[in-house]
Chain A
């Protein structure tokens, strides 16, 4: 997965994200922030799933579906590649 663009994001603890390349800004929650941090560390999807399930009280099936949606969103904003 191409993650170069993630490195340039300005990410605040409040969940506010600014992309200095496109000028777009986004908001996400605590889990979203963790996913972006893990992607930046080059973690793959199974590793992200295991980490989030360990750290947060979430249901595996729901989280896996949400993670697909979330990464699709990141792709649609050109923040990650295929």
Chain B
């Protein structure tokens, strides 16, 4: 099983050339997370990145509103906004913690206010996932989709359009396809050789959590 997975990633590696980034522009943590210095992490004590995730520049993670739990091999594209959603509850407004599973890719320019996102979910570019949406495992959201509030995307389905509606089913192989996609995206994201001067990840993390 593990062998075949490796073979696949090699095959895909040939198709996708590596993307090089300047080492000074990213913070690499011990668990393999690569977080751009130009991203905005609010309340980083509330943000959990399990490992091997990539956060690209311009992205805003709102940990100050509620807990934000992100699994491993999660790729968040440029200028995304990940913010926990809220709901009227007992007369006032309560924010929900937001959980994102493993092997999730979020395309550039998307706004994600979902309550929970399962594992192996693929979100395209410029999508808007409105408040309190639930995206189950192995689902696919096409680029430029606007999911209305409280939408539930069932497992192995494709959603797309404005407003986002059910468009079709996916084969069960989607689990492996998306897993490989996320892992290769992480693997091909490499520091360029000339980049130098990166500081230790711990001091920068503390800086982000300033107040």
A and B: interacting chains: no
Give B contacts to A, CB under 8 Å: none
Give A contacts to B, CB under 8 Å: none
